Structures are given as structure tokens and as C-alpha cells.
A = this chain, B = another copy of it.
Amino acid sequence: MSDPAIPSPAAESSSSDTATRILDAAEALFVEHGFAATSVRAIAARAEVNLGATHYHFGSKEGLLGAVIHRRVAPINVARLELLAGLEATEPAPGARAVLGAFFAPLRGSGTPAVVPRLMGRLFGEPERISRPLIERQFGETFERFTAALARAMPGVGSQEIRWRFHFAIGAMIHQLRTGAPPATPSDPDAIGQLIEFAVAGIERDPRAPQQEPTP
């Protein structure tokens, strides 16, 4: 009666083809329809595995979601933190552009085109009961590390203000990841590059917030 939902540690990455096929199918369907609107049966059918296999390997539907997210997001956050560490090893206080570059760049060529981004976009749209623990576990450390780096890059801006600006930049990222190019735009030249430029401008702006002219 060993718990197959938490298989032997070695089996995590060298698991049989079945678990991988389930992950692939679940990922595709979660991206397309979201978590609640995707049934375990549809996942099993797409993966061409038995219905029970999903619960055997991942314990529950939520466990499956966690595994899907973790498989894609963990490497990206590792790359982010490595880039940031390398940056800070080179120069004592890297600029905001370099820090944001380290944050956004790992989103580029991340395997299958656009599946990682759209998966993360979906995650942020799920009910908080489901998404919050996953987001916290996957992004908490990364968020804090980059917030601190941004604060060091811009000593004149308060810590709360830094959080707000980074918050908006992440929002632009999520939206880009979820919806792709804006409507009625033909090609997709370099969305991440565009995103970086937008985020740098929004974050590096003058620390004093100018009075907004009231709209009549």
C-alpha cells in the first residue's frame, strides 16, 4: 500500500512513458481550457492511457496540475536565479534593465513554442485556492530575489514602490503570455523584447510620481 502519488525519488525523472504522456496531455488541455474545464477523462483519452493511471501516478487532479506546473516552471526559475547571480557576481549593482533581462529572458525558447508561457498565464487565472499555493511555492523565492535586486538597482525608489512597479511588469508579462500578440497584429517579431522595453520604461521611470492632469 505504498503511496504511488509520491513515487520513489529516483523515479521522478526517469518515470515510464505513461507519466510523461499524461503530463503532456494534461499540459495541452490545461493550457487550452483551464484547470476546472478539463476532465481527467479527457486527459487520459488524449494521452491514450487508462483512466486510472492518472490517479496512480499523480494521486489526484490537483496533484497532476502541480506536476505539470513544476515540470515547466522550475527550470525557468532556476535559469532566472542563475542569470541574476551571474549578473551580481560581475558587477556590484546591476541596472534595472539587466535585472529585468535576467527575469524575462528565460521565457524565450523554452521548449515547445508558447506552451510554457501560456501555461503560466493559465495558472495565474485559476481560483486562488488552487493557484496561490503553487504560485507561492514556485515563484516566491524568485520574486523576493528580483525585488531585492531591483531595489538595489534603484536606490532612490522606496521598497513598496519597487514592488508596485514589478507587480505591473509581471502583469504585462502574464497578459502577453496568455493572449499572445495583440489583436490585428500580423507577425510575432520579438514579444519578449517588446516586453522588456515596456517593463524597463515603466520601472526605471522618474521616482517622483508627477501629478496627473484630471480628465475633464
Specify how many copies of this chain sit in the oligomer.
2
Q: A182-B163, A182-B164, A215-B87 are in contact. Are A34 and B127 (CB under 8 A)?
A: yes
Q: Which residue of B lies closest to A105 (CB)?
A: B215
Q: Which of A10-18, A50-58, A64-72, A191-199 contacts B (4 or more CB under 8 A)?
A: A191-199
| A172 contacts partner chain B, Cβ-Cβ < 8 Å | yes
A168 and B164 contact, CB distance less than 8 A: no
B residues within 8 A CB of A33?
36, 127
A194 to B171, CA, bound (A): 13
What is the CA–CA distance of A25 and B125 in the complex, to the nearest angstrom? 20
Q: Judging by beta carbons under 8 Å apart, are B201 and A205 in contact?
A: yes
**Interface segment, A41-49, A94-102, A109-117?**
A94-102
Interface size on A, residues (CB 8 A): 60
Please measure, in the bound complex, the distance between the C-alpha atom of A66 and the C-alpha atom of B182, giving whole angstroms.
Answer: 23
A107 to B21, CA, bound (A): 44
Residues in B with CB closer than 8 Å to A198 are: 164-165, 168, 202, 205
Q: Is the CB of B168 within 8 A of A175?
A: yes
In A113-129, the 8 Å CB interface with B consists of 122, 124-128
User: Once the chains are docked, how many angstroms separate the CA of A205 from the CA of B201?
Assistant: 6
**Cα distance A184–B166 when bound, in Å?**
13
Q: Is A160 an interface residue (CB 8 A)?
A: yes
A174-214 interface (Cβ within 8 A of B): 174-176, 178-179, 181-186, 193-199, 201-202, 205, 209-210, 212-213
Whether, in the assembled complex, A9 has its beta carbon less than 8 Å from a beta carbon of chain B, the answer is no
In chain A, residues 56-97, which have Cβ atoms closer than 8 Å to a Cβ of chain B? 83, 86-87, 90, 97
Of the candidates B87, B128, B169, B215, the one whose C-beta lies within 8 Å of that of A216 is B87
Instruction: Known A101-B215, A202-B201, A215-B87; judge A124-B178 contact (CB<8 A).
Output: yes
Complex Cα distance, B212 from A97, in Å, reads 8
12 contacts between A and B (CB under 8 A): A34-B126, A36-B36, A97-B212, A98-B215, A105-B215, A124-B178, A163-B182, A167-B181, A171-B171, A197-B210, A201-B202, A201-B205
